[in-house]
Structures are given as structure tokens and as C-alpha cells.
Amino acid sequence: PAELEGSLFTLYTTTFPIYKAFMMLIAILMVVSIYLVLTRTRIGLVIQAALTHPEAVETLGHNVPRVFMLVFGGGCALAGLAGYLWGAQTGYINPELMGFHMSAHAIMMVILGGMGNFAGAIVGAFTFELVLHAFKDLPRIGQVELGKHWQLWMGLFIVAVVGLAVFSVIGH
């Protein structure tokens, strides 16, 4: 739309488009709304309880397989929205974009942030992306191009965080 064209602000020589800010706002609203639904509503409590105590939730009258089906459907809807946002931002969609490397990235984000902790997964995602880009931008030292071997540095980082932080970046 014409309302989303143009620059929101300029920092030195880099401009930040209004459209990108709008997409970031949608992503932040998605994350906050999911967090609030999972932590502040009855259905969120049922979902959390069904994960740890399915028999008790079944005894209370909830259909646990249906709850899991609804959670899966909601996850699929969010994946579809994320795919739309990606396509709208880049103008390019390809099945190879969601190959093994993206699954591995998602698993590493969760491991870094802590399993079973929504806020930890968000912290893990930000940490992963920040460190990933820092390792990709490493300089050349002599004949060795350090940024070219970012996967090695990322693997060592994850091993160090998991080994030193006991479980995750946030320590739970």
C-alpha cells in the first residue's frame, strides 16, 4: 500500500523503510498475543496442563487430543502467516527455504533459550540471530577468513552455552 512506502528514519546512510517497521510490529504483536494467550487465559492453562498432566486434564472434562489438534492448527496458521510475511518482505518463496538448516536453527534457538519456556525461546531466538550475524561478520586474519567458518564458531558457542549455563541462556 502507498501508506507503507517511504522511509521511517535514516541512520547515517542506512534508511529504515516504513514497510519493514510494519512487518516488525506485526511479528511483535504475534509474539505478545501468543504469550498472553498461553499465560493469561483458560485455554492457555489447559494447553500447559495437557502437556504435563494429560490424564488430569482429561478428568476435568477436556478432550486432550482435540486440544493438541487445535494447538497444531494454530501453529500451522502462524507458520502460514510467517511465510506470508517472509514472502511480502523478500518477494521470493521457495520450498528449499524451509529445509533442514531452518529446522536446525529453530532447534538451536529453543535449546539456547530453554525447553518448555516461551520467554526463553524468544531470548534464544534473539541470541542465536545476534551471534550468528556476529560470527558471519568475523574478519580475515592473515590467510584465514574467520567469517567463512561461522558454523564452527556457532557450534562451539552452543556447546559452551549449554555446558556452562546448565540448561539455557536464561539459566532455567
Per-residue pLDDT reduced to its tens digit, 91-101: 888 887 777 87
Helix then strand then coil, in percent of the chain rounded to 5, is 75, 10, 20
Q: How do residues 122-147 score in pLDDT, each as one tens digit?
A: 888 888 888 888 888 888 888 888 88
**Per the confidence metrics, is the pTM higher than 0.75?**
no
pLDDT above 90 for 21? no
User: Do 144 and 91 form a contact (C-beta atoms < 8 A)?
Assistant: no
- Among 34-38, 52-56, 58-62, the minimum mean pLDDT is found in 34-38
Integer CA distances (angstroms), 104 to 12, 63, 64, 142, in order: 35, 32, 29, 31
Four-residue CA torsion sign, 68, 69, 70, 75: positive
- Name, of 7-11, 25-29, 118-122, the range with top average pLDDT: 25-29
